[in-house]
Amino acid sequence: MRAILAALAFAVAAAGFAPLAIGQADEVAHPDAKVERRLKELGEQLRCLVCQNETIADSQAPLAEDLRNEIRGMIRAGKSDDQIRAYLVARYGDFVLYKPPFKSITVLLWVGPFALLALGVGVMAVVLKRRRALPAAPPPRSDAQRAQVAQLLEGDPPARKQKR
């Protein structure tokens, strides 16, 4: 009896997902060239939330595929590119845009790399300036100085004056 109920549950579940699979297969089998071109253009401007270094158009992640299908549906519904971008930004934040807008929240994304570069150049300038300020190697010792050093190393140290 359990086996029959399990098989029945599986059949109902499979039948429930069949229209979804057929709809996706139909979209792939008979794509609309205008919709696909617009999807490609929009997908190149949007970041995959899973991969983060790929666009939605290039990513093979399941979430990117879901977003492409969602965008495809919005395009077919007559939404403009700005409306689609606004919807995705409202849902996922500015991070979904491959080129986030310049505003107070994203200022570090735009200014940060240049600030780090300037800091690195400044540190390098200070290090080079200090290195130039160091004295050159001491001049070589004369023969008299070498003899004095040798005498000090071989003999007893000179008597120190005692304080009274």
pLDDT in tens, 13-23: 666 554 444 44
Q: Where are the domains of the chain?
A: 2-96, 102-133
Over residues 56-86, the pLDDT tens digits come to 999 899 999 999 999 999 999 999 999 999 9
Predicted confidence at residue 156, as pLDDT, reads 63
Q: Determine the average pLDDT of the residues in 129-142.
A: 83
How large a percentage of the chain has pLDDT more than 70?
Answer: 78
> Encoding tokens for residue 145?
């100085």
Q: Which CATH fold topology does 2-96 show?
A: Helicase, Ruva Protein; domain 3 (1.10.8)
- pLDDT-derived band at 158 (thresholds 50, 70, 90) equals low
CB 101 within 8 A of CB 94: yes
Distance CA 27, CA 42 (A): 18
